[in-house]
Amino acid sequence: MKRPRVLIVDDSSVMRKIIERSLRQAGLDLGEVVEAGNGIEALSAIRGGVFDLILSDINMPGMDGIEFLRQLVTLEEGKGIPVVMVTTEGSETRVVEALSIGAKGYIRKPFTPDQIKERVSPLLEVMR
Amino acid sequence: MNPALDSKTQNSVRPDATWEAMLECAVKEVFQIMLQSELTTITKTAEEVSTGDTTAMVGLAGSLCGVMSIRCSSQTAESVAGRMLGSVGAVNPSEVPDALAEICNMVAGNFKSKITRLADSCMLSVPTVIRGEDYEMVTIADGDQIVVCVDYEHAPIWATLAVHS
């Protein structure tokens, strides 16, 4: 069975590591995990490879998560990749905006591995 | 116009007596969830000021304008980074400010989400971290300041919300 290839987008390298560790602690059998520091780097990564899941922060310098999502849905390579927003953003407006563009869900920071699993597992099940 | 900034003109939010407890709760929750660390509150007198050579700050704009900061010693910041990353040995020094910045970001976001009037009308900036041997945090704004001090492994961590009037 193919193991999912995951893209983690966050301007904090510490948070990217924590998200990856949480995914693995949650018992998810991941393939390669690729990191990007903002939306621009993430779009570049997507043009260069296939991903099964994207976890993205919203508030990032350079290109934020909302703009990244907007551009992602216009890319042929981005079509069908589930995106989950991982954010400190308490604003319903920003989250609703992300969901309306195409995000499949969101996780609020701080989070536990179980909360990540709850959001991500159903999305990875679909690809099996 | 940005909805958060638009709402500022319509509905400016001011601190009330519950905010100190909300901030304390926000700090404790972040450390409990991300570091599995139970913090206790340290009671400080009004004259005592925050100390420590590492400060992370996040700006707030919209219906509430101000700065949320987390201040501690570099040793404490290193310990926080280590626990966040689940490191056994020494932490990469470049990850220490990043970790404290994320803590501050999460405290600000968690605090904001506890105050219904703020959730949708106040935005957070990208964090900034200051490090140095000898500096004093001075708030130019004449607004309220809410200060919480907690004990993390026998060392103080200061959380301050400086509100611009």
CATH number, domain with residue B126: 3.40.1550.10
The confidence band for A61, taking pLDDT boundaries of 50, 70 and 90, is: very high
**Residue A4 half-sphere exposure, CB side, CA atoms within 13 Å?**
25
List, for residues B41-80, the tens digit of each pLDDT value. Answer: 998 776 677 788 999 999 999 999 999 999 999 999 999 9
Supply the pLDDT for residue B9: 45
Supply the pLDDT for residue B6: 55
Q: Could you tell me which residues come within 8 angstroms of residue B130 by beta carbon, excluding any fewer than 6 positions away? A: B54, B55, B57
Supply the pLDDT for residue A126: 65
Of B4, B85, B108, the CB nearest to A88: B108
Is residue B12 one of the residues assigned to a domain? no
List, for residues A91-104, the tens digit of each pLDDT value. Answer: 778 889 999 999 99
- CB contacts, 8 Å: A59 with chain B: 105, 124, 126
The alpha carbon of residue B103 is apart from the nearest alpha carbon of chain A, in Å, by 9
CB contact under 8 A, B30 and A89: no
Q: B45: domain range? A: 3-7+18-163
Is residue B94 one of the residues assigned to a domain? yes
Cα separation, A99 vs A65, whole angstroms: 12
Share of chain B above pLDDT 90, in %: 63
> What is the CATH T-level fold of the domain A6-123, as seen in this structure?
Rossmann fold (3.40.50)
Is residue B13 one of the residues assigned to a domain? no
Of A61, A91, A109, the CB nearest to B106: A109
Q: Which helix (H) or strand (E) holds B84?
A: helix B74-85
Of A15, A88, A93, the CB nearest to B124: A88
Q: Chain A residues with CB-CB distance to B under 8 A?
A: 11-15, 17-18, 21, 59-61, 87-93, 108-112
- CB contacts, 8 Å: A90 with chain B: 109-110, 112-113, 118-120
pLDDT at A124 over 90: no
Is residue B39 one of the residues assigned to a domain? yes
Is residue B136 one of the residues assigned to a domain? yes
Q: What angle do CA A68, A69, A73 make, to 5 degrees?
A: 120
- What is the value of ipTM here, to two decimals? 0.88
Supply the pLDDT for residue A93: 84
Beta bridge mates, B130: B55
Supply the pLDDT for residue B8: 47
List, for residues B70-122, the tens digit of each pLDDT value. Answer: 999 999 999 999 999 988 778 899 999 999 999 999 999 999 999 888 877 88
CB contact under 8 A, A18 and B85: yes
- CB contacts, 8 Å: B109 with chain A: 87-90, 108-109
Q: Could you tell me which residues come within 8 angstroms of residue B68 by beta carbon, excluding any fewer than 6 positions away? A: B57, B58, B60, B104, B107, B108, B111, B159, B160, B161
Q: How many domains does chain B have?
A: 1
List, for residues A19-28, the tens digit of each pLDDT value. Answer: 999 999 988 8
Closest residue in chain B to residue A88, using alpha carbons only: B109
Is residue B100 one of the residues assigned to a domain? yes
pTM, 2 dp: 0.90
- Give the residue with greater pLDDT, B2 vs A105: A105
Supply the pLDDT for residue A90: 66
